[in-house]
Structure 1
């Protein structure tokens, strides 16, 4: 939520004091967050390459994409080698992981905006 508000302020070219939709507490929190971001400054490319978090994210991304490609490219062949001969059936079975992902994204998206989670998020910001 904080990032969305910061982006909205930056897009409008405004200061947190001009945001009518924020409470006084939220304005102060946003002012402090923006000051910290300004104080951090910029980093050189060498500093970024020395940061182990960059490599952790790269490894995680590599694993994610590798799994995606494995399912995309090899699942139809695996299904065919296990006895499915009908091309339509192979296509339908290959689409199952993606159909499951679509349903899961909708369910988790609705769950994340449920009032219970919103109340927990509001409490954690205090």
Structure 2
């Protein structure tokens, strides 16, 4: 069993988004699965403010960082191969999209309060 935890200050993501379009684009490629990049573009296009987008991205960064830690030392799966979603019962999960690997979904929990997001992940091999 693997356990991972992460804490993130949302203003770090916000500063990244405010820096430049190039920095934002590179960050998206580094931390989001292609399906999540499409979701983010829809979110951005719906006139949501930068605070909402930073929190949305922060949740994904934090749960994936916790999942990365939970998978070690057995696997080193990087963020673009992870997709944050909810199962049919609404439970948050990380699905791994990596050819030739069959890893069960990673259970995650995420909470946010003001400037901070905290995430936990459990991996049952």
- The answer to whether TM tops 0.5 is no
- TM-score normalized with structure 1 length: 0.26
Larger RCO of the pair (alpha carbons < 8 Å, separation 6+): 2
Q: Kindly indicate which of the two structures has a greater share of residues assigned to helix.
A: 1
- TM-score normalized with structure 2 length: 0.26
Q: Kindly indicate which of the two structures has a greater share of residues assigned to strand.
A: 2
Higher-Rg structure is 1
